Structure 1
Amino acid sequence: MARLRLGPLLRYVDGASATVWVEADRPCTAEVRCADGARGTARTFQIAGHHYALVLVEGLRPGTDTAYEVSLDESPVWPLPDSPFPPSTIRTPGGTAASGSGGGTGRDGGTSRDGDGDGDGDGETVRVTFGSCRWAAPPAAEHGASPGARLRSHQEDPIGPDALDTLAARIAADPTGPRPDVLLLLGDQVYADEVSDDTRRWLAARRDLSEPPGDQVADYEEYTHLYYESWLDPEVRWLLSTVPSCMVFDDHDVIDDWNTSESWLAEMRATPWWRERILSGLMSYWVYQHIGNLPPDELARDELFTAVRAAPDGTDALRSFAAAADSDPASTRWSYRRDFGRVRLLMVDTRAARVLKEDERAMLDPEEAEWLRAQALEGGCDHLLIGTSLPWLLPHLIHDAEGWDAALCRGERGARWARFGERLRRAADLEHWAAFPSSFDSLAAVIAEAGSGADAPATVCVLSGDVHHAYVAEPTWPGGGPDARVLQLTCSPVHNSIPAYIRGGFRFGWSRVGRALGRRFARHGRLPRAAVDWRRTGGPWFGNHLMTLTMRGRSARLRLDRARAGKDGAERMETVSETQLTP
């Protein structure tokens, strides 16, 4: 009898259909059957001895919330026996979903059917919850503990409660109440280079850790272990089964500083273990994260998805794809678009799409940059969300330091400074948008153009993570800016930590003294003035957080929640800040 190894994950949802991802322990037929009669089936496909299915559920009705079950070869496997959680459900938007796609993009009409008074605009409410950087939580102290009552001491989990666990507890406590229409996971879903003690012991039983890459993951099988560890967390497993999700990778999904520079990449490619690592990282990302990001119509046209499902074993086809993506990043687009009613999300790949040649450095290759511009300027949305794992707007000192370092590395101050700049870039992780000055200014230009004119959205929000704290920043343009309100919304980590000295560094980076010091770096690097200026309007906040944007019509509201452990041992979400962004 086939067993469920991982999942189900509810990925795409519109008014009539949904996709549900599962992993089984052997070849089988996966079926998702809803209480209202909607259903879908899919035969598993095989990658490196593992068996997966992405089930398209059709026949859903708009504006409903229906429980579903999963069977493998007609044997029920979900919900789990004696589960303390409510039934997993598919909640569809209240209107008919948009169909089709433009320019290789997918569209989705996912909006809540209920108006809850979040703003005075017309239309349906859309809630987008987002964050990044999640180490797998330690095991529950008691098997089957009720949601929100997992008893972890400070010693057991020194980095504090997992924000996804506490979000699950909040939803489970009121399963018919408001919940996110989509959960955006903005990178570092798994840590291939910083594994847990349990994973380290598992690796040591499998191979000699004195050989490179040591206690980091080496191949596809070891990547699957990371996903098991992360997504088998009971709260997270239930949460991902009942809240649709969109995902994108960041560096730790492969390795810290992934694609920092041309010389970094050359050094990595010269090692005996890198090729297997990067191919396995891209293959596992495609299976566990990427295909679930795409809407059904786009999946139906995807040649690789079709080939993998048709083959007895899709490993070779997927490996060839990953090899091509690694050797020619411009041949593959990991970025994608999703529309939730009149809220448009553009999820942008800021890792694999980079141009690393020192005199041509860019965050996005030319085709990727043009794709982003075309999607942003299409119009027809009330809110434009640009998801990029790396923040566009950083503390001023850090921004100027990254621009200065980029100038040194391209030889602005000579060869000796260039060598110093490369060492500093790697040591201090100076590789955000600010380290690609032309790309920083290009994004500013796209945002200004998209946010201007009669058809401009009410807001343009850049959603980011990576930097292990949360803040809000608002840019201004010389001579006047766009009509839309533009904000950098950064939320990280979901479950991770940051040393006290780095917290102090971030605070100092926003200060007047820090800004003045940054200007000195800029002058030494002979940097031109950035296309925009900006100010911090919220934060910095430290801890395990999630941000939620609630949009209705042209109204938008932002809430920041922090996961905390109470004196009774229960973990809860506490609202740290709530702000009305537009009336």
Structure 2
Amino acid sequence: MSVTLVLGPVLRHVGESTAAVWVQTDAPAEVEVLGCSARTFQVQEHHYALVPVTGLTPDSVHEYQVRIDGEIVWPEPDSEFPPSVIRTRGPAGAHRLKVVFGSCRYPKTGVQKLDDKLGLDALDCYAERLTATPVDEWPDALLLLGDQVYADELTPEARRNLSGRRQTKRRPPDEVVTFDEYEGLYRHTWGDPEIRWILSTLPTAMIFDDHDIRDDWNTSAPWRAEVNEKPWWRDRIHAGLGSYWVYQHIGNLSPEELASDEDYQKVLANDGDCWPHLVELADRADYEVDGDKGLRFSFRWDLGRSRLIMVDSRNARILDSGERKMLGDREFRWLEDQVNDDLGTVDHLLIGSSLPWLLPPALGDVQTINEIAADRDGLRGKLAETIRQTADLEHWPAFLKSFLRLSALIESAADHSSTGPATVSVLSGDVHHSYAARADFPGKHATRVHQLVCSPVHNYVPAPLKPVFRLVWSPRLARVTRRWARRAGSPDLPMSWRNLSGPLFGNTIASLNVSGRDAEVVFEQPRDDGSLTSVITVSLTD
């Protein structure tokens, strides 16, 4: 019996002469792409391969097929989609870049009422448009900024399937807990034909957010202490982080990084089930040791004269030690090293974080005020902690020391010199509305600094929250909350920021377009006929 391609191919890291193609199969096999091959590795009853494609020509387009044990399995017979290609970068395209980004993509449910409420999937619509677009106009990268799967908000079908599997009350009937259940989530979410095709042909970088594990994941130390009391939580962490490593993380790494990654090399060397190693890996990633985590999920992509640094702002948090940090010190030093590394050669610096660095100013101050109160003893501290968890007050401003450290790093990059970056952009999602905000630091800086948020790709914001989001962008309210924050003990902030567009509600996909030292961001939304229309365009260099 021939081996079947279950999911993929997904095109991941692409360099000047290399690429990585990820696949899932239903049995052990040899997977080949453009004459390069890899043997699958096994996790429980599932099989995966990340094929390293080498020897490619810079600045070129390579149409590819996927063979399993010598048999062509991709493209699928009678496919209506264009051929999947690998487009390498090189000197000729170093000054140009198009990055498509967004977050929070809930899958289609198959229930008409729910799907109507969710609206058209913006990434689906983008893929449809791409099929009629010349290859040389395709984006250079797709950035998925969190909530690739919803492990705690299941579709009705997934909930029904799950309820039939539960034999005891030890595990909840409405949340995934096992690796096998996560496998079903990824297969459902990535299996849509348009999504499967676009992932096969655009280099895709990914990072998780809370719903990939659980809503408000790692909000605070009390949250962690409470959830760790649940009898199924260790199983959930093992399955969530283990599946994230397989489906998302390893494809973010370059060939050189994979070659030196001990975990990846152990998996490749294992002839049997790698699940025990993934359990150990997940524990290492989750536990804090000496104020740091034992595994880094942050990563860097060099894109010609632009640089993307994706920051893990979920699992890298330090909470159990009594401190409250978005990143441990070792991880923050890594981020600082990546930003400052030969910065004079970078025209555009992109920092990806699933959570926005700059929220609406009033909302940011409220989160800082809450953090200060939550750090106090007694009833006031407990009340503030309850509010923190209930109102999701756990973004960068709710980790004030980390917020100020990131702000200082961005200011330093912007102050590098006239030969430094023309723009520094923080790309984020999570908050279910989209906007472009410009940060202004004191003094003269040639570099323009922006917070760019695109959320959701396919989800919705409850109607009562829309006027709240509009209100918290009010400059008048911002002056009130800033005075309140100072009285609560917040220092003056090193910069101010203002909204250039939005808040934009509805399913949205954004594109960051670079030409030389000029850059712009374009927000697009689906029309009723499935086409995309440009809603907002903002120059980042004016």
* Shorter-normalised TM range: over 0.9
Give 1:451's aligned amino acid: A
Give the conservation status (yes or no) of the 8 Å contact 1:62–1:93.
Answer: yes
The answer on 1:15 being equivalent to 2:31 is no
The answer on 1:319 being equivalent to 2:284 is no
The answer on 1:514 being equivalent to 2:477 is yes
Count how many residue pairs are aligned between Structure 1 and Structure 2. Answer: 534
Which position in structure 2 is the counterpart of 1:226? 185
Kindly provide the CA deviation profile for residues 124-180 of structure 1, in whole angstroms up to 9, marking residues without a partner as x: 3111111100101245xxxxxxxxxxxx97764321111110110111012435111
Which position in structure 2 is the counterpart of 1:294? 253
Which position in structure 1 is the counterpart of 2:55? 59
User: Residue 191 of structure 1: SS of its match in structure 2?
Assistant: coil
CA distance in structure 2 between the partners assigned to 1:410 and 1:156 by the alignment: 42
Give 2:100's aligned amino acid: T
Same amino acid, percent of matched pairs: 47
The answer on 1:389 being equivalent to 2:354 is yes
Alignment counterpart, residue 341 of structure 1, candidates 298, 304, 307: 304
Alignment counterpart, residue 76 of structure 1, candidates 50, 72, 77: 72
The answer on 1:534 being equivalent to 2:530 is no
CA distance in structure 2 between the partners assigned to 1:446 and 1:213 by the alignment: 42
User: Taking structure 1 as reference, are residues 525 and 214 closer, same or farther at Cα in structure 2, changes over 3 Å only?
Assistant: farther
CA distance in structure 2 between the partners assigned to 1:283 and 1:211 by the alignment: 21
Give the conservation status (yes or no) of the 8 Å contact 1:392–1:440.
Answer: yes
Superposed, which structure 2 residues align to 1:117-128 within 5 Å?
124-128=95-99
Gaps of 5+ in 2: none
Superposed, which structure 2 residues align to 1:240-279 within 5 Å?
240-279=199-238
CA distance in structure 2 between the partners assigned to 1:89 and 1:322 by the alignment: 33
CA distance in structure 1 between the partners assigned to 2:64 and 2:316 by the alignment: 37
TM-score (norm 2): 0.95
Which position in structure 2 is the counterpart of 1:101? none
User: Taking structure 1 as reference, are residues 249 and 18 closer, same or farther at Cα in structure 2, changes over 3 Å only?
Assistant: same
Give the conservation status (yes or no) of the 8 Å contact 2:103–2:145.
Answer: yes
Of the structure 1 ranges 525-534 and 499-508, higher mean CA displacement relative to structure 2 is found in: 525-534
User: Residue 61 of structure 1: SS of its match in structure 2?
Assistant: coil
User: Residue 565 of structure 1: SS of its match in structure 2?
Assistant: coil
CA drift at 1:546: 1.2
Alignment counterpart, residue 456 of structure 1, candidates 420, 431, 439: 420
CA drift at 1:578: 1.6
User: Residue 206 of structure 1: SS of its match in structure 2?
Assistant: coil
Which position in structure 2 is the counterpart of 1:546? 509
User: Residue 534 of structure 1: SS of its match in structure 2?
Assistant: strand
Superposed, which structure 2 residues align to 1:303-318 within 5 Å?
303-312=262-271, 313-318=273-278
The answer on 1:492 being equivalent to 2:455 is yes
CA drift at 1:342: 1.0
CA distance in structure 2 between the partners assigned to 1:316 and 1:401 by the alignment: 43
Alignment counterpart, residue 81 of structure 2, candidates 85, 88, 100: 85
Give the conservation status (yes or no) of the 8 Å contact 2:221–2:322.
Answer: no
CA drift at 1:360: 2.1
Give the conservation status (yes or no) of the 8 Å contact 1:397–1:515.
Answer: yes
Of the structure 1 ranges 237-246 and 297-306, higher mean CA displacement relative to structure 2 is found in: 297-306
CA drift at 1:356: 1.2
Which position in structure 2 is the counterpart of 1:398? 363
Give 1:181's aligned amino acid: D
The answer on 1:280 being equivalent to 2:280 is no
Give 1:410's aligned amino acid: D
Give the conservation status (yes or no) of the 8 Å contact 1:203–1:209.
Answer: no
Give the conservation status (yes or no) of the 8 Å contact 1:403–1:522.
Answer: yes
Give the conservation status (yes or no) of the 8 Å contact 1:160–1:564.
Answer: no
Give the conservation status (yes or no) of the 8 Å contact 2:500–2:538.
Answer: no
CA drift at 1:558: 1.2
CA drift at 1:517: 4.2
User: Taking structure 1 as reference, are residues 217 and 154 closer, same or farther at Cα in structure 2, changes over 3 Å only?
Assistant: closer
CA distance in structure 1 between the partners assigned to 2:401 and 2:539 by the alignment: 32
Query: Deviation above 6 Å: which 4+ runs of structure 1?
Result: 152-155
CA drift at 1:501: 1.1
Give 2:276's aligned amino acid: D
CA distance in structure 2 between the partners assigned to 1:307 and 1:377 by the alignment: 32
CA drift at 1:530: 1.9
The answer on 1:473 being equivalent to 2:444 is no
CA distance in structure 2 between the partners assigned to 1:520 and 1:529 by the alignment: 10
User: Residue 283 of structure 1: SS of its match in structure 2?
Assistant: helix
Which position in structure 2 is the counterpart of 1:31? 32
CA drift at 1:92: 1.6
User: Residue 582 of structure 1: SS of its match in structure 2?
Assistant: coil
Give the conservation status (yes or no) of the 8 Å contact 1:325–1:331.
Answer: yes
Give the conservation status (yes or no) of the 8 Å contact 1:453–1:483.
Answer: no
Give the conservation status (yes or no) of the 8 Å contact 1:358–1:410.
Answer: no
Give the conservation status (yes or no) of the 8 Å contact 1:163–1:545.
Answer: yes
CA distance in structure 1 between the partners assigned to 2:365 and 2:398 by the alignment: 9
User: Residue 319 of structure 2: SS of its match in structure 1?
Assistant: coil
User: Residue 389 of structure 2: SS of its match in structure 1?
Assistant: helix
CA drift at 1:523: 4.5
Which position in structure 1 is the counterpart of 2:333? 370
Of the structure 1 ranges 317-326 and 220-229, higher mean CA displacement relative to structure 2 is found in: 317-326
TM-score (norm 1): 0.89
User: Taking structure 1 as reference, are residues 358 and 405 closer, same or farther at Cα in structure 2, changes over 3 Å only?
Assistant: farther
The answer on 1:4 being equivalent to 2:1 is no
CA drift at 1:205: 2.0
CA distance in structure 1 between the partners assigned to 2:116 and 2:37 by the alignment: 39
CA distance in structure 1 between the partners assigned to 2:116 and 2:240 by the alignment: 27
CA distance in structure 1 between the partners assigned to 2:338 and 2:358 by the alignment: 21
User: Residue 135 of structure 2: SS of its match in structure 1?
Assistant: coil
Superposed, which structure 2 residues align to 1:201-216 within 5 Å?
201-208=160-167, 212-216=171-175
User: Taking structure 1 as reference, are residues 13 and 317 closer, same or farther at Cα in structure 2, changes over 3 Å only?
Assistant: same
Kindly provide the CA deviation profile for residues 207-247 of structure 1, in whole angstroms up to 9, marking residues without a partner as x: 15865422010111111010000000110000000001000
Alignment counterpart, residue 40 of structure 2, candidates 19, 41, 44: 44
CA distance in structure 1 between the partners assigned to 2:259 and 2:85 by the alignment: 25
Of the structure 1 ranges 359-368 and 487-496, higher mean CA displacement relative to structure 2 is found in: 359-368
Kindly provide the CA deviation profile for residues 233-280 of structure 1, in whole angstroms up to 9, marking residues without a partner as x: 110000000001000011111001111111110111111010000111
Kindly provide the CA deviation profile for residues 35-60 of structure 1, in whole angstroms up to 9, marking residues without a partner as x: xxxx2100000112210000011222
Give 2:372's aligned amino acid: A
User: Residue 129 of structure 1: SS of its match in structure 2?
Assistant: strand
Of the structure 1 ranges 244-253 and 317-326, higher mean CA displacement relative to structure 2 is found in: 317-326
CA drift at 1:65: 1.7
Give 1:354's aligned amino acid: R
CA distance in structure 1 between the partners assigned to 2:371 and 2:100 by the alignment: 33
User: Residue 393 of structure 1: SS of its match in structure 2?
Assistant: coil
Give the conservation status (yes or no) of the 8 Å contact 1:2–1:72.
Answer: yes
Alignment counterpart, residue 434 of structure 1, candidates 385, 397, 406: 397
Give the conservation status (yes or no) of the 8 Å contact 1:279–1:326.
Answer: no
Which position in structure 2 is the counterpart of 1:168? 127
User: Taking structure 1 as reference, are residues 279 and 155 closer, same or farther at Cα in structure 2, changes over 3 Å only?
Assistant: closer
Gaps of 5+ in 1: 34-38, 96-112, 115-122, 140-151
Root-mean-square deviation (Å): 1.7
